[in-house]
Amino acid sequence: SLALSATVVERPERTPPAAAFLGAYGLYHARIPEPDAAVAAALACLPPQVRFDTVAHTRWVARIRADLRDPGALAPAERPLDDMPPAALVSCQIDDLRPSTEAFAQTLRSRGVPVRELRVDGVIHGHLNWLPGPELPQVGQTLDFLAAAVNELTATHQQARVALTKEQPCP
């Protein structure tokens, strides 16, 4: 949520826009969209200690929004996304926040923003908190996805910088 807010917020003059956005099981909405039946059934099997309390989140947002200078910071996907850079988004198969990531990806696509998306099967929210290994290969899968996205976006960004450098006159 904070990273997306920083990406879409109005920037001071001469501050370059973000070249890309990477989001891993993000919280992009003030009110988390309802999960579909399959996700809801999978979530029902989890103990409350490993679940994200979406109802409490909605109450928290409503309570503190009035105190913020920029209430939109708590719901960055609800802001204008006209200058949104290409995005790479990760969601977990069994995560209360999965509907937020999926809805955000759909919103970006509907506005013509290029989106790479990975749903990581068999894991709950926070799987990147563990080291990659044979017991949890999904961590490596997620890191590989994010690394490929960074490499692709970095290559594109470097080509653009080189082109701009060549066009600038020498001092």
Task: Give domain limits for the chain.
Answer: 2-10+17-167
CB atoms within 10 A of CB 136: 15
Answer whether residue 165 shows pLDDT above 60.
no
Residue 54 has pLDDT above 70, yes or no: yes
Whole-model pTM? 0.80
CATH 3.40.50.150 correct for 2-10+17-167: no
Q: In sequence order, what are the beta bridge partners of 118?
A: 90
Class of residue 8 by CB neighbours under 10 A (exposed 0-12, middle 13-18, buried 19+): buried
Determine the pLDDT at residue 14. Answer: 75
